Amino acid sequence: MFKRTSAIAFLLIAANCSQLPLTSAVVIPPVPSGTSRIWIYRNEGPHEASDTPYIRLNSQITGVVQPNGAFYRDAPPGHYSVTVDSYGAPYPNQFAQVDLGAGQEAFVEVLSKREKVGGPEGSRAAYFTEPVPADVARAAIGAIPFYGGS
């Protein structure tokens, strides 16, 4: 019985440690007819925050952004405010605005900066979103893990 329990525990641990495939290794379906696609990614260095804040499209939660991860959402054509939950009061132009027609794609990167809070050692991450040109974004997204699409 102990060997069987140990084997099951080992398999569960190994499954949780497996790496997600890079986006470049995944077959991404075309944008469905009559919709648009918004890619959201975060490609930060090892010293950045490991938080996983919510991403919102027009104030509605659409996912969680992982450090060094990418995902997409298919949505009806239209105007989208792409925001991320962040520390502190919002500041002007902190979040990306995108307008999409049917069949179009937009690429939005989540970035962060450290802001001091409290004493000399205290800081928190303030996040912002930024539209990125397709060619730049595709290269960045291809080199990081893929967290799925809608």
Residue 68 CB contacts under 8 Å (≥ 6 apart), including other chains: 42, 43, 44, 144, 145
Could you tell me if 66 and 147 are in contact, meaning their C-beta atoms sit under 8 angstroms apart?
yes
pLDDT per position as a tens digit, 38-65 = 999 998 766 677 889 999 999 999 999 9
pLDDT tens-digit series, residues 87-146:
776 777 899 999 999 999 999 999 988 765 666 666 677 889 999 999 999 999 999 999
Q: How far is CA 17 from CA 11, 21, 27, in A?
A: 10, 13, 23
**The model's pTM:** 0.81
Whether 140 contacts 43, CB under 8 Å: yes
pLDDT tens digit string along 58-81?
Answer: 999 999 999 899 999 999 999 999
